[in-house]
């Protein structure tokens, strides 16, 4: 229960570091994106080792919250974004944590912000020293994630901040343009080309962006419309 619902914030939310206990006290704040509890916990949150900021699924809090915010109605989303910003301000070190829920992924918060089209949170991460070209375990950058998801606002924010439009991943050798083509995101394709994306680059299977669009992009567009 959060303070707006007539309850009180826990006096010492970090008395234990077990994931289940963390989730119980975090529910007080997360259930309604309640920044009041976060402010009361400011001292405790700032003093904790960064490893505490994982949930029970080994996902860093900013990543999990970003996904939740993207699922909220537009009328409610701004409050969740503000809540995540407050959390980051309390301990920016959590931005460096990698997602351990999916083996071989290793995304950081900025990758998820790009996927979820949270350009405000991308700017917040960059202000705290996160690289615009941060790499996951497969060397994919936030722009790869934005291109795959068709997140135009996020993609444009990253490009304006100096993202490498032709960044190549480690194993599959994909660029943001190839992922945009594979996902059928025509607006993303246009945006990337406008910012200098190379059409000639090929992935590990010898396919260019236009090849991936022909193979998968049109099918992906149909699935979006269904």
Could you read off the pLDDT of 1-51 as tens digits, one per residue? Answer: 233 333 566 555 554 444 444 444 455 555 555 667 777 777 777 777 777
Classified as helix, coil or strand, 189 is helix
Question: What pLDDT sits at residue 105?
Answer: 87
Indicate if 168-226 has the same CATH topology as 3-164: yes
Reported for 164-167, long-range contacts at CB under 8 A and 24+ positions apart, including other chains, are 164/133, 165/192, 165/195, 165/196, 165/197, 166/196, 166/197, 166/198, 166/201, 167/133, 167/139, 167/140, 167/141, 167/143
Between CA 72 and CA 76 the distance in angstroms is 6
CATH number for the region 3-164 comes to 1.25.40.20
Q: Using a pLDDT cut of 90, give the percent of the chain over it.
A: 52
Question: Do 91 and 50 touch, CB atoms closer than 8 A?
Answer: yes
Neighbours of 69 (CB within 10 A): 22
Could you read off the pLDDT of 65-80 as tens digits, one per residue? Answer: 898 889 888 888 888 8
Nearest Cα neighbor of 114 from 176, 168, 166 is 176
Could you read off the pLDDT of 154-171 as tens digits, one per residue? Answer: 999 999 999 999 999 999
Retrieve residue 110's tokens: 């900025």
pTM of the model: 0.83
Question: What pLDDT sits at residue 64?
Answer: 86
Question: What pLDDT sits at residue 27?
Answer: 53
Mean pLDDT score across all residues of the chain: 83
Q: What are phi and psi of 79, to 5 degrees?
A: -65, -40
- Out of 3.40.50.300, 3.10.330.20, 1.25.40.20, 3.40.50.2300, select the CATH number for domain 168-226: 1.25.40.20
């Amino acid at each position: 229960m959060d303070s707006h619902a007539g309850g009180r914030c826990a006096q010492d939310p970090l008395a234990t570091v077990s994931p289940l206990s963390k989730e119980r006290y975090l529910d007080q704040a997360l259930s309604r994106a309640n920044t009041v509890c976060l402010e009361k916990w400011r001292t405790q949150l700032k003093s904790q080792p960064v490893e505490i900021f994982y949930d029970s699924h080994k996902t860093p809090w900013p990543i999990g919250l970003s996904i939740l915010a993207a699922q909220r109605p537009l009328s409610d989303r701004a409050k969740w974004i503000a809540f995540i910003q407050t959390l980051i301000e309390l301990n920016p070190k959590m931005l460096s944590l990698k997602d351990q829920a999916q083996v071989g992924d290793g995304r950081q918060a900025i990758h998820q912000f790009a996927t979820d089209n949270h350009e405000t949170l991308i700017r917040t991460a960059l202000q705290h020293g996160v690289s615009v070209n941060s790499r996951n375990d497969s060397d994919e950058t936030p722009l790869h994630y934005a291109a795959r998801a068709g997140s135009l606002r996020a993609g444009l924010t990253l490009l304006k901040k100096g993202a490498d439009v032709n960044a190549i991943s480690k194993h599959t050798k994909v660029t943001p343009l190839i992922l945009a083509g594979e996902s059928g995101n025509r607006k993303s394709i246009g945006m990337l080309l406008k910012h200098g994306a190379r059409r000639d680059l090929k992935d590990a299977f010898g396919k260019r962006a236009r090849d991936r669009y022909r193979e998968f992009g049109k099918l992906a567009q149909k699935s979006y419309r269904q």
